[in-house]
Amino acid sequence: MTADEGTWVYAVAGSIREEWFNGTAGVAGRPVRAVTAAGLAAAVTRVSLAEFGEEPLHRHMEDLAWLEATARAHHHVIEIVARHGPVIPMRLATVYYSDAGVADLLARRQAEFADVLTWITARTEWGVKAYAAQRPAEPGPPGPSRQAGPATGGPAGEVTGAGPEGPAGPAGPEGPGGTGRGAAYLRRRRMALSAKQEARQAAISGADAVHAGLAKLAVAVQLRPLQGPQLTGQASQMVLNGAYLVDDARSGEFTAAAQNLASQYPGIRIELTGPWPPYSFAAVDQDAAVDQDAAVDQDAAVDQDAAADRGREPGR
Partner 1 sequence: MNAVAPRGTGGEPHRGERAAALPVTVSPALPSAEDTAGPPAAGSAAGQQPVALVDLLDRVLAGGVVIMGEVRLSIADVDLVTVSLQTLISSVGTALGGPAAGREPDRDR
Does position 72 interact with partner 1 (CB under 8 A)? The reply is yes
309, HSE (Cβ side, Cα atoms, 13 Å) = 9
Per DSSP, the three-state class of 86 is coil
Of residues 211-230, those binding partner 1 (CB under 8 A): 224-225, 227-230
Cβ atoms of residues 97 and 61 within 8 Å: no
Minimum CB–partner distance for residue 143 and partner 1 (Å): 11
Q: What is the β-pairing status of strands 5-13 and 123-132?
A: unpaired
Residue 66 CB partners (closer than 8 Å, separation 6+): 60
Stretch that binds partner 1, among 127-135, 169-177, 212-220, 297-305 (CB under 8 A): 127-135
Please write down the long-range contacts of 149-153, taking CB distance under 8 Å and 24 or more positions apart.
Answer: 153/188, 153/191, 153/192
Binding mask 81-100 for partner 1 (x = CB under 8 A): -xxx---xxxxxxxxxx---
Does position 73 interact with partner 1 (CB under 8 A)? The reply is yes
Does position 31 interact with partner 1 (CB under 8 A)? The reply is no
Of residues 247-266, those binding partner 1 (CB under 8 A): 248, 251-252, 255-256, 258-259, 262-263, 266
Q: Distances in Å between the alpha carbon of 3 and those of 55, 97, 146?
A: 16, 8, 62
Minimum CB–partner distance for residue 245 and partner 1 (Å): 12
Minimum CB–partner distance for residue 178 and partner 1 (Å): 25
Nearer to partner 1 by Cβ, of 138 and 178: the residue is: 138
Site size toward partner 1, by CB under 8 A: 92
Q: Distances in Å between the alpha carbon of 168 and those of 14, 143, 172, 191?
A: 58, 16, 10, 6
Residue 105 CB partners (closer than 8 Å, separation 6+): 9, 42, 96
Nearer to partner 1 by Cβ, of 161 and 183: the residue is: 161
* C-alpha to C-alpha distance for 145 and 188, rounded to whole angstroms: 16
Stretch that binds partner 1, among 135-143, 174-182, 211-219, 293-301 (CB under 8 A): 135-143
Nearer to partner 1 by Cβ, of 188 and 279: the residue is: 279
Minimum CB–partner distance for residue 180 and partner 1 (Å): 27
Minimum CB–partner distance for residue 293 and partner 1 (Å): 22
Question: Of the candidates 32, 133, 219, 223, which one interacts with partner 1 according to CB under 8 A?
Answer: 133
* Distance, CA of 279 to chain centre: 10
Minimum CB–partner distance for residue 185 and partner 1 (Å): 19
Nearest in space to 89 (alpha carbons), one of 233, 251, 242, 280: 280
Of residues 39-68, those binding partner 1 (CB under 8 A): 49, 52-54, 57-58, 61-62, 64, 67-68
* C-alpha to C-alpha distance for 86 and 12, rounded to whole angstroms: 9
Question: Of the candidates 21, 32, 103, 127, which one interacts with partner 1 according to CB under 8 A?
Answer: 127
DSSP 228: P
Nearest in space to 138 (alpha carbons), one of 195, 192, 202, 203: 192
Does position 243 interact with partner 1 (CB under 8 A)? The reply is yes
Nearer to partner 1 by Cβ, of 44 and 184: the residue is: 44
Question: Of the candidates 14, 32, 136, 188, which one interacts with partner 1 according to CB under 8 A?
Answer: 136
Nearer to partner 1 by Cβ, of 146 and 181: the residue is: 146
* C-alpha to C-alpha distance for 261 and 215, rounded to whole angstroms: 12
Of residues 141-200, those binding partner 1 (CB under 8 A): 159-160
Cβ atoms of residues 276 and 126 within 8 Å: yes
